Amino acid sequence: MKLSWFTVKNLKRYIQSENLIGLILIFLSFPSFAQNKTVVDVSIPEIFSQIDLMIYGQMLENVNDSVIYGGVVNKNGTVRKHVAGLMKEIQIPIMRWPGGTVIHEYRWRNGIGPAEIRPTVKTHAWNGNETYQFGTDEFLQWCRDVGTTPYINFNMANNTEFGGTLGEALDWIEYVNGNADSTNFGKIRAFFGNHEPYQVLYWGIGNENYGPWGKHTAETAFGYAERLGLWAKTINSKFPGLHLLGVGHTAEWNKIVLEKAGTEIDYLTQHYYINSKFKDHEIENPFNSLFAPVLVEKHLSLLGDYLTYFNNQNRKTKRPVKLSIDEWNNRHSVYDGKEYKFSRNDPRRLIDATIAASMLNVFIRKSDIVGMANYIFPVNGHGLIRTIGDNGAIITPLFYVFKKYRETMNGQKLNTTVNGSGISALQIKPSIEGDCKEVLWGEEHLNFIDAAASLNKDGKIHVALINRSYNQKQSVSVKLPGDYKFQNRWILSGKNFNEFNNVGQEKSIAPKINSDGKKTKNGVNIIMEPCAVEILSFTPLWFN
Protein backbone atom coordinates (compact mmCIF):
# COMPACT_ATOMS: atom_id res chain seq x y z
CA MET A 1 0.00 0.00 0.00
CA LYS A 2 1.39 3.43 -0.94
CA LEU A 3 1.71 5.92 1.91
CA SER A 4 2.80 9.02 -0.01
CA TRP A 5 -0.30 10.91 1.05
CA PHE A 6 0.73 10.75 4.69
CA THR A 7 2.54 13.56 6.43
CA VAL A 8 5.03 12.04 8.89
CA LYS A 9 5.17 13.93 12.16
CA ASN A 10 8.16 13.80 14.46
CA LEU A 11 7.18 15.93 17.44
CA LYS A 12 9.79 16.82 20.04
CA ARG A 13 9.12 18.86 23.16
CA TYR A 14 11.70 19.94 25.65
CA ILE A 15 11.32 21.68 28.98
CA GLN A 16 14.59 23.31 29.98
CA SER A 17 13.98 24.03 33.66
CA GLU A 18 14.17 21.10 36.10
CA ASN A 19 12.43 23.22 38.74
CA LEU A 20 9.58 23.86 36.33
CA ILE A 21 9.29 20.11 35.70
CA GLY A 22 9.07 19.48 39.41
CA LEU A 23 6.35 22.08 39.84
CA ILE A 24 4.35 20.61 36.96
CA LEU A 25 4.60 17.06 38.33
CA ILE A 26 3.52 18.16 41.81
CA PHE A 27 0.62 20.13 40.36
CA LEU A 28 -0.55 17.27 38.15
CA SER A 29 -0.35 14.73 40.96
CA PHE A 30 -3.56 16.20 42.36
CA PRO A 31 -6.41 15.15 40.02
CA SER A 32 -8.79 17.83 41.30
CA PHE A 33 -6.48 20.51 39.85
CA ALA A 34 -5.61 18.74 36.58
CA GLN A 35 -6.47 20.56 33.37
CA ASN A 36 -7.91 17.35 31.88
CA LYS A 37 -6.78 18.17 28.36
CA THR A 38 -4.82 15.70 26.26
CA VAL A 39 -3.51 15.70 22.69
CA VAL A 40 -2.85 12.35 20.98
CA ASP A 41 -0.74 12.59 17.84
CA VAL A 42 -0.75 9.55 15.53
CA SER A 43 2.21 9.29 13.16
CA ILE A 44 3.80 6.88 10.71
CA PRO A 45 6.88 5.03 12.02
CA GLU A 46 10.11 4.95 10.05
CA ILE A 47 9.97 1.14 10.14
CA PHE A 48 6.64 -0.67 10.31
CA SER A 49 6.06 -3.56 12.71
CA GLN A 50 3.18 -5.98 12.29
CA ILE A 51 0.77 -6.38 15.19
CA ASP A 52 0.68 -10.13 15.71
CA LEU A 53 -2.88 -11.28 16.35
CA MET A 54 -1.52 -13.87 18.78
CA ILE A 55 -1.26 -11.15 21.43
CA TYR A 56 -5.00 -11.76 21.91
CA GLY A 57 -4.43 -15.37 23.00
CA GLN A 58 -5.83 -17.19 26.04
CA MET A 59 -4.82 -20.02 28.35
CA LEU A 60 -6.60 -23.00 29.93
CA GLU A 61 -5.44 -24.68 33.15
CA ASN A 62 -7.19 -26.94 35.66
CA VAL A 63 -6.88 -24.69 38.71
CA ASN A 64 -10.07 -25.88 40.47
CA ASP A 65 -11.98 -22.69 39.72
CA SER A 66 -14.15 -24.15 36.95
CA VAL A 67 -11.91 -23.03 34.13
CA ILE A 68 -11.88 -26.41 32.37
CA TYR A 69 -14.19 -28.72 34.34
CA GLY A 70 -17.34 -26.74 34.98
CA GLY A 71 -16.08 -24.18 32.46
CA VAL A 72 -15.35 -25.21 28.88
CA VAL A 73 -16.63 -28.72 29.65
CA ASN A 74 -18.93 -30.32 32.21
CA LYS A 75 -17.54 -32.31 35.11
CA ASN A 76 -17.67 -35.44 32.94
CA GLY A 77 -15.77 -33.80 30.08
CA THR A 78 -18.72 -33.01 27.79
CA VAL A 79 -18.18 -29.82 25.82
CA ARG A 80 -20.44 -26.95 26.85
CA LYS A 81 -21.70 -25.70 23.52
CA HIS A 82 -22.83 -22.28 24.75
CA VAL A 83 -19.32 -21.62 26.10
CA ALA A 84 -17.72 -22.82 22.85
CA GLY A 85 -20.01 -20.48 20.92
CA LEU A 86 -18.88 -17.48 22.93
CA MET A 87 -15.24 -18.46 22.56
CA LYS A 88 -15.72 -18.73 18.81
CA GLU A 89 -17.29 -15.26 18.74
CA ILE A 90 -14.15 -13.54 20.00
CA GLN A 91 -11.91 -15.33 17.47
CA ILE A 92 -9.23 -16.44 19.92
CA PRO A 93 -6.01 -16.68 17.86
CA ILE A 94 -4.12 -19.14 20.10
CA MET A 95 -4.87 -21.22 23.22
CA ARG A 96 -2.20 -22.42 25.67
CA TRP A 97 -2.77 -25.70 27.58
CA PRO A 98 -2.48 -27.62 29.99
CA GLY A 99 -0.67 -24.98 32.09
CA GLY A 100 0.79 -23.27 33.95
CA THR A 101 2.11 -24.55 37.24
CA VAL A 102 0.06 -27.71 36.87
CA ILE A 103 2.19 -28.79 33.91
CA HIS A 104 4.95 -29.87 36.28
CA GLU A 105 2.85 -32.86 37.29
CA TYR A 106 0.79 -33.43 34.12
CA ARG A 107 1.22 -36.84 32.43
CA TRP A 108 -0.19 -36.67 28.94
CA ARG A 109 -0.57 -40.44 28.53
CA ASN A 110 -3.22 -40.40 31.28
CA GLY A 111 -5.38 -38.19 29.03
CA ILE A 112 -5.72 -40.38 25.93
CA GLY A 113 -7.80 -43.42 25.07
CA PRO A 114 -11.25 -44.41 26.38
CA ALA A 115 -12.53 -41.93 28.96
CA GLU A 116 -13.64 -44.66 31.36
CA ILE A 117 -10.10 -45.98 31.88
CA ARG A 118 -8.42 -42.65 32.53
CA PRO A 119 -7.22 -42.17 36.12
CA THR A 120 -8.25 -39.50 38.59
CA VAL A 121 -5.23 -38.11 40.40
CA LYS A 122 -4.70 -35.48 43.07
CA THR A 123 -3.13 -32.28 41.83
CA HIS A 124 -0.56 -30.87 44.21
CA ALA A 125 -0.18 -27.42 42.68
CA TRP A 126 -3.81 -26.38 43.24
CA ASN A 127 -4.86 -29.01 45.79
CA GLY A 128 -7.58 -30.52 43.61
CA ASN A 129 -8.15 -33.40 41.20
CA GLU A 130 -7.39 -34.09 37.56
CA THR A 131 -9.74 -36.60 35.92
CA TYR A 132 -8.02 -36.40 32.51
CA GLN A 133 -11.43 -36.30 30.80
CA PHE A 134 -10.30 -33.19 28.91
CA GLY A 135 -7.13 -34.68 27.48
CA THR A 136 -5.03 -34.11 24.38
CA ASP A 137 -7.62 -35.15 21.78
CA GLU A 138 -10.43 -33.33 23.56
CA PHE A 139 -8.39 -30.14 23.78
CA LEU A 140 -7.34 -30.25 20.13
CA GLN A 141 -10.84 -31.00 18.91
CA TRP A 142 -12.20 -28.19 21.08
CA CYS A 143 -9.64 -25.84 19.51
CA ARG A 144 -10.93 -26.83 16.07
CA ASP A 145 -14.51 -26.23 17.16
CA VAL A 146 -13.84 -22.71 18.43
CA GLY A 147 -11.41 -21.84 15.63
CA THR A 148 -8.25 -21.30 17.64
CA THR A 149 -4.64 -22.44 17.21
CA PRO A 150 -3.45 -24.89 19.91
CA TYR A 151 -0.28 -24.37 21.91
CA ILE A 152 0.85 -27.26 24.14
CA ASN A 153 3.21 -26.99 27.11
CA PHE A 154 5.60 -29.82 28.04
CA ASN A 155 6.17 -31.11 31.53
CA MET A 156 9.81 -30.20 32.14
CA ALA A 157 9.82 -30.45 35.92
CA ASN A 158 12.95 -31.73 37.63
CA ASN A 159 11.05 -33.74 40.24
CA THR A 160 12.08 -37.41 40.05
CA GLU A 161 8.53 -38.67 40.59
CA PHE A 162 6.47 -36.13 38.62
CA GLY A 163 8.94 -34.63 36.18
CA GLY A 164 8.57 -35.19 32.45
CA THR A 165 11.43 -36.44 30.32
CA LEU A 166 12.58 -35.42 26.86
CA GLY A 167 11.47 -38.82 25.61
CA GLU A 168 8.00 -38.22 26.99
CA ALA A 169 7.88 -34.86 25.19
CA LEU A 170 8.99 -36.43 21.89
CA ASP A 171 6.33 -39.12 22.25
CA TRP A 172 3.67 -36.45 22.83
CA ILE A 173 4.64 -34.66 19.61
CA GLU A 174 4.49 -37.97 17.74
CA TYR A 175 1.06 -38.73 19.16
CA VAL A 176 -0.22 -35.31 18.10
CA ASN A 177 1.55 -34.85 14.76
CA GLY A 178 2.70 -38.32 13.72
CA ASN A 179 1.47 -40.03 10.58
CA ALA A 180 -0.98 -42.81 11.35
CA ASP A 181 0.80 -45.18 8.96
CA SER A 182 4.39 -44.64 9.98
CA THR A 183 4.77 -43.86 13.69
CA ASN A 184 3.88 -45.86 16.75
CA PHE A 185 2.13 -43.04 18.55
CA GLY A 186 0.47 -41.83 15.36
CA LYS A 187 -0.99 -45.34 15.05
CA ILE A 188 -2.19 -45.21 18.64
CA ARG A 189 -3.94 -41.88 17.99
CA ALA A 190 -5.58 -43.33 14.88
CA PHE A 191 -6.62 -46.43 16.81
CA PHE A 192 -8.42 -44.17 19.27
CA GLY A 193 -10.41 -42.65 16.40
CA ASN A 194 -8.37 -39.66 15.25
CA HIS A 195 -6.67 -40.72 12.03
CA GLU A 196 -5.41 -37.37 10.74
CA PRO A 197 -2.45 -35.65 12.46
CA TYR A 198 -3.33 -32.45 14.31
CA GLN A 199 -0.26 -30.57 13.02
CA VAL A 200 0.28 -28.57 16.21
CA LEU A 201 3.11 -26.08 15.64
CA TYR A 202 3.52 -24.36 19.03
CA TRP A 203 5.19 -26.20 21.93
CA GLY A 204 6.38 -24.71 25.21
CA ILE A 205 9.38 -26.21 27.02
CA GLY A 206 8.84 -25.77 30.75
CA ASN A 207 7.01 -23.22 32.87
CA GLU A 208 8.57 -20.75 35.32
CA ASN A 209 11.51 -23.13 35.84
CA TYR A 210 13.24 -20.39 37.84
CA GLY A 211 10.80 -20.92 40.72
CA PRO A 212 9.94 -23.71 43.20
CA TRP A 213 6.33 -24.03 42.10
CA GLY A 214 4.29 -27.21 42.43
CA LYS A 215 6.38 -30.31 41.86
CA HIS A 216 9.47 -28.45 40.71
CA THR A 217 12.68 -27.23 42.30
CA ALA A 218 14.00 -23.83 41.27
CA GLU A 219 16.68 -23.92 38.58
CA THR A 220 19.46 -21.51 37.73
CA ALA A 221 19.49 -19.82 34.35
CA PHE A 222 22.53 -21.91 33.37
CA GLY A 223 20.86 -25.15 34.46
CA TYR A 224 17.63 -24.44 32.61
CA ALA A 225 19.43 -23.13 29.52
CA GLU A 226 21.51 -26.31 29.26
CA ARG A 227 18.39 -28.49 29.40
CA LEU A 228 16.48 -26.22 27.05
CA GLY A 229 19.27 -26.35 24.49
CA LEU A 230 19.26 -30.15 24.54
CA TRP A 231 15.47 -30.44 24.36
CA ALA A 232 15.03 -27.82 21.65
CA LYS A 233 17.87 -29.09 19.47
CA THR A 234 16.56 -32.66 19.69
CA ILE A 235 12.98 -31.64 18.93
CA ASN A 236 14.04 -29.47 15.99
CA SER A 237 16.14 -32.30 14.60
CA LYS A 238 13.33 -34.84 14.77
CA PHE A 239 10.39 -32.50 14.03
CA PRO A 240 11.61 -29.56 11.93
CA GLY A 241 9.25 -26.64 11.40
CA LEU A 242 7.83 -26.38 14.92
CA HIS A 243 7.79 -23.15 16.94
CA LEU A 244 9.37 -23.71 20.34
CA LEU A 245 8.97 -21.50 23.41
CA GLY A 246 11.58 -21.29 26.16
CA VAL A 247 11.12 -19.86 29.64
CA GLY A 248 12.08 -16.21 30.03
CA HIS A 249 12.40 -14.26 33.25
CA THR A 250 14.81 -11.42 34.10
CA ALA A 251 17.17 -9.63 31.74
CA GLU A 252 20.17 -11.65 32.97
CA TRP A 253 18.23 -14.93 32.82
CA ASN A 254 17.11 -14.19 29.26
CA LYS A 255 20.65 -13.30 28.18
CA ILE A 256 21.98 -16.64 29.43
CA VAL A 257 19.11 -18.62 27.88
CA LEU A 258 19.50 -16.89 24.53
CA GLU A 259 23.25 -17.41 24.49
CA LYS A 260 22.93 -21.14 25.16
CA ALA A 261 19.69 -22.03 23.34
CA GLY A 262 18.46 -18.98 21.45
CA THR A 263 19.22 -20.38 18.00
CA GLU A 264 16.86 -23.31 18.67
CA ILE A 265 13.75 -21.46 19.93
CA ASP A 266 11.28 -18.91 18.58
CA TYR A 267 9.92 -17.31 21.77
CA LEU A 268 10.86 -16.51 25.35
CA THR A 269 7.94 -16.47 27.78
CA GLN A 270 7.26 -13.73 30.34
CA HIS A 271 4.64 -13.58 33.12
CA TYR A 272 3.05 -10.44 34.59
CA TYR A 273 0.36 -10.32 37.28
CA ILE A 274 -1.20 -7.05 38.35
CA ASN A 275 -2.63 -7.29 41.88
CA SER A 276 -5.65 -5.37 43.11
CA LYS A 277 -7.10 -5.37 46.61
CA PHE A 278 -10.88 -5.20 47.03
CA LYS A 279 -12.80 -4.32 50.16
CA ASP A 280 -16.60 -4.04 50.27
CA HIS A 281 -16.69 -4.58 46.48
CA GLU A 282 -14.42 -1.61 45.78
CA ILE A 283 -10.80 -1.53 44.67
CA GLU A 284 -8.25 0.11 46.96
CA ASN A 285 -5.61 2.47 45.56
CA PRO A 286 -6.90 2.19 41.98
CA PHE A 287 -4.04 4.22 40.44
CA ASN A 288 -1.55 1.57 41.59
CA SER A 289 -3.33 -0.97 39.39
CA LEU A 290 -4.28 1.32 36.51
CA PHE A 291 -0.68 2.44 35.96
CA ALA A 292 0.96 -0.95 36.60
CA PRO A 293 1.17 -1.66 32.82
CA VAL A 294 3.65 1.22 32.61
CA LEU A 295 6.13 -0.93 34.55
CA VAL A 296 5.46 -3.87 32.21
CA GLU A 297 6.32 -1.68 29.22
CA LYS A 298 9.53 -0.53 30.89
CA HIS A 299 10.53 -4.14 31.48
CA LEU A 300 9.75 -5.17 27.92
CA SER A 301 11.98 -2.32 26.71
CA LEU A 302 14.77 -3.59 28.95
CA LEU A 303 14.41 -7.15 27.66
CA GLY A 304 14.18 -5.91 24.09
CA ASP A 305 17.65 -4.36 24.18
CA TYR A 306 19.53 -7.66 24.33
CA LEU A 307 16.86 -9.55 22.37
CA THR A 308 17.30 -7.20 19.42
CA TYR A 309 21.09 -7.51 19.65
CA PHE A 310 20.87 -11.32 19.76
CA ASN A 311 18.52 -11.46 16.77
CA ASN A 312 20.76 -9.19 14.71
CA GLN A 313 23.78 -11.35 15.48
CA ASN A 314 22.28 -14.83 15.32
CA ARG A 315 18.89 -14.93 13.58
CA LYS A 316 19.56 -13.15 10.30
CA THR A 317 18.34 -16.04 8.18
CA LYS A 318 15.47 -17.08 10.47
CA ARG A 319 12.50 -15.38 12.06
CA PRO A 320 13.63 -13.38 15.12
CA VAL A 321 13.08 -14.65 18.65
CA LYS A 322 10.14 -12.77 20.17
CA LEU A 323 8.57 -12.55 23.60
CA SER A 324 5.39 -14.37 24.54
CA ILE A 325 3.54 -12.92 27.53
CA ASP A 326 2.38 -16.41 28.41
CA GLU A 327 0.48 -15.46 31.56
CA TRP A 328 -1.05 -12.15 32.53
CA ASN A 329 -4.13 -10.65 34.17
CA ASN A 330 -5.33 -8.50 37.06
CA ARG A 331 -5.54 -10.67 40.17
CA HIS A 332 -8.00 -9.83 42.95
CA SER A 333 -7.35 -10.15 46.68
CA VAL A 334 -10.64 -9.78 48.55
CA TYR A 335 -10.97 -8.70 52.19
CA ASP A 336 -12.99 -11.27 54.15
CA GLY A 337 -13.25 -9.28 57.38
CA LYS A 338 -9.88 -10.44 58.68
CA GLU A 339 -7.44 -10.51 55.78
CA TYR A 340 -7.07 -10.17 52.03
CA LYS A 341 -7.31 -13.51 50.21
CA PHE A 342 -6.55 -14.24 46.57
CA SER A 343 -9.73 -15.01 44.61
CA ARG A 344 -10.28 -15.95 40.98
CA ASN A 345 -14.03 -15.82 41.49
CA ASP A 346 -14.42 -12.14 42.29
CA PRO A 347 -16.41 -10.47 39.48
CA ARG A 348 -14.51 -8.92 36.59
CA ARG A 349 -15.30 -5.23 36.72
CA LEU A 350 -14.99 -2.20 34.47
CA ILE A 351 -11.58 -1.44 35.98
CA ASP A 352 -10.40 -4.93 34.97
CA ALA A 353 -11.32 -4.12 31.39
CA THR A 354 -9.46 -0.80 31.64
CA ILE A 355 -6.33 -2.53 32.94
CA ALA A 356 -6.55 -5.30 30.33
CA ALA A 357 -6.87 -2.76 27.52
CA SER A 358 -3.82 -0.93 28.87
CA MET A 359 -1.85 -4.19 28.74
CA LEU A 360 -2.98 -4.83 25.16
CA ASN A 361 -1.89 -1.31 24.24
CA VAL A 362 1.54 -2.12 25.66
CA PHE A 363 1.76 -5.29 23.57
CA ILE A 364 0.78 -3.32 20.47
CA ARG A 365 3.34 -0.59 21.08
CA LYS A 366 6.00 -3.27 21.66
CA SER A 367 4.96 -5.31 18.61
CA ASP A 368 8.54 -5.32 17.35
CA ILE A 369 9.45 -7.73 20.19
CA VAL A 370 6.10 -9.14 21.46
CA GLY A 371 4.70 -11.89 19.24
CA MET A 372 2.24 -13.64 21.54
CA ALA A 373 0.32 -13.16 24.79
CA ASN A 374 -2.05 -15.46 26.66
CA TYR A 375 -4.55 -14.07 29.14
CA ILE A 376 -5.56 -16.35 32.00
CA PHE A 377 -8.34 -17.42 31.90
CA PRO A 378 -11.13 -17.10 29.29
CA VAL A 379 -13.81 -18.85 31.38
CA ASN A 380 -14.74 -18.31 35.05
CA GLY A 381 -11.48 -17.73 37.00
CA HIS A 382 -10.50 -14.15 36.00
CA GLY A 383 -12.67 -14.91 32.97
CA LEU A 384 -14.03 -13.17 29.92
CA ILE A 385 -17.25 -15.02 30.63
CA ARG A 386 -18.72 -16.46 33.84
CA THR A 387 -20.88 -19.56 33.53
CA ILE A 388 -24.26 -19.77 35.25
CA GLY A 389 -25.45 -23.35 35.74
CA ASP A 390 -25.07 -25.76 32.84
CA ASN A 391 -26.45 -23.57 30.08
CA GLY A 392 -26.07 -19.93 31.06
CA ALA A 393 -23.20 -17.44 30.94
CA ILE A 394 -22.59 -13.81 31.77
CA ILE A 395 -20.35 -11.78 29.50
CA THR A 396 -17.87 -9.70 31.47
CA PRO A 397 -16.41 -6.36 30.31
CA LEU A 398 -13.20 -8.21 29.40
CA PHE A 399 -15.04 -10.14 26.70
CA TYR A 400 -15.94 -6.94 24.89
CA VAL A 401 -12.36 -5.62 25.08
CA PHE A 402 -10.80 -8.74 23.57
CA LYS A 403 -13.47 -9.02 20.89
CA LYS A 404 -13.13 -5.42 19.71
CA TYR A 405 -9.33 -5.32 19.87
CA ARG A 406 -9.15 -8.54 17.87
CA GLU A 407 -11.43 -7.03 15.21
CA THR A 408 -9.81 -3.61 14.90
CA MET A 409 -6.34 -3.41 16.44
CA ASN A 410 -4.54 -5.40 13.77
CA GLY A 411 -2.30 -4.69 10.80
CA GLN A 412 0.64 -2.28 11.18
CA LYS A 413 1.45 -0.46 14.38
CA LEU A 414 1.42 3.33 14.19
CA ASN A 415 3.22 5.66 16.56
CA THR A 416 1.29 7.59 19.19
CA THR A 417 2.53 10.61 21.12
CA VAL A 418 0.46 11.62 24.16
CA ASN A 419 0.71 14.96 25.95
CA GLY A 420 -1.75 16.02 28.58
CA SER A 421 -2.97 15.92 32.13
CA GLY A 422 -1.89 13.14 34.41
CA ILE A 423 -0.12 12.27 37.61
CA SER A 424 3.44 12.05 38.85
CA ALA A 425 4.96 8.59 39.04
CA LEU A 426 6.00 9.58 42.56
CA GLN A 427 2.36 9.19 43.55
CA ILE A 428 2.14 5.62 42.20
CA LYS A 429 3.28 2.30 43.68
CA PRO A 430 2.55 -0.13 40.85
CA SER A 431 0.90 -3.23 42.30
CA ILE A 432 2.35 -5.96 40.13
CA GLU A 433 4.16 -9.27 40.44
CA GLY A 434 6.20 -11.13 37.88
CA ASP A 435 9.29 -10.57 35.83
CA CYS A 436 9.31 -6.76 35.90
CA LYS A 437 10.42 -6.22 39.50
CA GLU A 438 13.99 -5.61 38.36
CA VAL A 439 12.94 -2.33 36.71
CA LEU A 440 13.20 0.81 38.83
CA TRP A 441 10.07 2.93 39.02
CA GLY A 442 10.65 6.49 37.84
CA GLU A 443 9.58 10.01 38.70
CA GLU A 444 8.19 11.04 35.33
CA HIS A 445 4.82 12.50 34.44
CA LEU A 446 2.28 9.80 33.55
CA ASN A 447 -0.57 10.76 31.24
CA PHE A 448 -4.08 9.77 32.21
CA ILE A 449 -4.76 8.93 28.58
CA ASP A 450 -3.07 5.86 27.15
CA ALA A 451 -3.07 5.33 23.37
CA ALA A 452 -2.16 2.81 20.68
CA ALA A 453 -2.95 2.92 16.97
CA SER A 454 -3.11 0.55 14.01
CA LEU A 455 -3.24 0.83 10.24
CA ASN A 456 -5.41 -1.94 8.78
CA LYS A 457 -4.84 -3.47 5.38
CA ASP A 458 -7.96 -1.67 4.07
CA GLY A 459 -6.41 1.70 4.90
CA LYS A 460 -8.47 2.37 8.03
CA ILE A 461 -6.84 3.70 11.18
CA HIS A 462 -8.04 2.65 14.63
CA VAL A 463 -6.94 4.44 17.79
CA ALA A 464 -7.38 2.68 21.14
CA LEU A 465 -7.73 5.15 24.02
CA ILE A 466 -7.90 4.45 27.74
CA ASN A 467 -8.75 6.92 30.47
CA ARG A 468 -6.64 5.82 33.43
CA SER A 469 -8.28 8.38 35.68
CA TYR A 470 -10.91 6.64 37.79
CA ASN A 471 -12.63 9.83 38.93
CA GLN A 472 -12.33 12.41 36.14
CA LYS A 473 -13.49 12.86 32.59
CA GLN A 474 -10.79 13.73 30.08
CA SER A 475 -10.90 16.00 27.05
CA VAL A 476 -8.95 14.35 24.25
CA SER A 477 -7.90 15.70 20.86
CA VAL A 478 -6.80 13.01 18.39
CA LYS A 479 -4.73 14.14 15.41
CA LEU A 480 -4.03 11.89 12.41
CA PRO A 481 -1.17 12.04 9.87
CA GLY A 482 -3.17 12.38 6.67
CA ASP A 483 -6.50 12.95 4.98
CA TYR A 484 -8.84 10.94 7.16
CA LYS A 485 -12.40 11.36 8.30
CA PHE A 486 -13.69 10.37 11.70
CA GLN A 487 -16.11 7.45 11.47
CA ASN A 488 -17.24 6.41 14.96
CA ARG A 489 -16.39 5.67 18.58
CA TRP A 490 -16.66 2.27 20.26
CA ILE A 491 -17.09 3.04 23.96
CA LEU A 492 -16.91 0.79 27.00
CA SER A 493 -17.74 2.75 30.13
CA GLY A 494 -19.99 2.65 33.17
CA LYS A 495 -21.46 4.57 36.07
CA ASN A 496 -18.71 3.33 38.36
CA PHE A 497 -15.34 1.70 37.73
CA ASN A 498 -16.18 -1.03 40.28
CA GLU A 499 -19.33 -1.97 38.36
CA PHE A 500 -19.74 -5.48 36.90
CA ASN A 501 -22.29 -7.56 35.01
CA ASN A 502 -24.41 -9.92 37.09
CA VAL A 503 -27.58 -12.02 36.98
CA GLY A 504 -30.41 -9.58 36.25
CA GLN A 505 -27.88 -6.92 35.28
CA GLU A 506 -26.13 -8.67 32.41
CA LYS A 507 -25.70 -5.45 30.40
CA SER A 508 -24.58 -3.07 33.14
CA ILE A 509 -21.26 -2.79 31.32
CA ALA A 510 -21.69 -3.13 27.56
CA PRO A 511 -20.20 -1.26 24.59
CA LYS A 512 -21.97 1.39 22.59
CA ILE A 513 -21.10 2.96 19.27
CA ASN A 514 -21.71 6.56 18.30
CA SER A 515 -20.20 9.35 16.26
CA ASP A 516 -20.21 11.99 18.99
CA GLY A 517 -17.27 14.36 18.91
CA LYS A 518 -16.13 17.56 17.30
CA LYS A 519 -14.53 16.76 13.97
CA THR A 520 -11.37 18.65 13.11
CA LYS A 521 -9.38 18.99 9.89
CA ASN A 522 -7.26 15.94 10.69
CA GLY A 523 -8.95 14.26 13.65
CA VAL A 524 -11.57 14.63 16.33
CA ASN A 525 -12.08 16.06 19.83
CA ILE A 526 -13.92 13.92 22.38
CA ILE A 527 -14.72 13.68 26.09
CA MET A 528 -13.86 10.36 27.77
CA GLU A 529 -15.57 9.04 30.89
CA PRO A 530 -13.48 7.84 33.87
CA CYS A 531 -11.93 4.39 33.30
CA ALA A 532 -13.42 4.29 29.80
CA VAL A 533 -11.96 2.24 26.97
CA GLU A 534 -12.58 3.62 23.48
CA ILE A 535 -11.58 2.63 19.98
CA LEU A 536 -11.91 5.42 17.44
CA SER A 537 -12.19 4.49 13.77
CA PHE A 538 -11.07 6.68 10.89
CA THR A 539 -11.40 6.08 7.16
CA PRO A 540 -9.24 7.65 4.40
CA LEU A 541 -11.07 10.13 2.22
CA TRP A 542 -10.63 7.85 -0.78
CA PHE A 543 -12.35 4.97 1.05
CA ASN A 544 -15.87 4.13 -0.17
Where in the chain are the domains? 18-49+413-540, 53-380
Q: Do 290 and 468 touch, CB atoms closer than 8 A?
A: yes
pLDDT given for residue 35 in this prediction: 53
477 membership: H or E segment, kind and range: strand 474-479
For the chain, list residues with pLDDT below 70.
1-35, 543-544
Output the 3-class SS for 322-357. Answer: EEEEEEEEEEEEEECCCCEEEECCCCCEHHHHHHHH
- Looking at residue 544, its pLDDT comes to 57
Write down the pLDDT at residue 543.
65
> Three-state SS for 299?
helix
pLDDT given at position 280: 95
pLDDT digit string (tens) for 178-205?
999 988 999 999 999 999 999 999 999 9
Please state, in angstroms and rounded to a whole number, the distance separating the CA atoms of residues 106 and 115. Answer: 17
Gap between the Cα atoms of 245 and 478, Å rounded: 38
CATH number for 53-380 (one of 3.40.980.10, 1.10.760.10, 3.20.20.80, 3.20.20.105): it is: 3.20.20.80
Q: Which of 54, 61, 109 is nearest to 364 (CA)?
A: 54
Distance (Å, rounded) from C-alpha 357 to C-alpha 351? Answer: 10
Model-level pTM? 0.92
Q: Which CATH class is domain 18-49+413-540?
A: mainly beta
| CB neighbourhood size of 344 (10 A) | 18
The answer to whether the beta carbons of residues 235 and 242 sit under 8 Å apart is yes
Q: How confident is the model at residue 531, as a pLDDT?
A: 97
What is the structure's pLDDT at 226? Answer: 98
Q: What is the 3-state secondary structure (H, E, C) of 176-236?
A: HHCCCCCCHHHHHHHHCCCCCCCCCCEEEECCCCCCCCCCCCCCCHHHHHHHHHHHHHHHH
**Cβ contact 397:352 at 8 Å:** yes
In angstroms, the CA 101 to CA 105 distance is 8
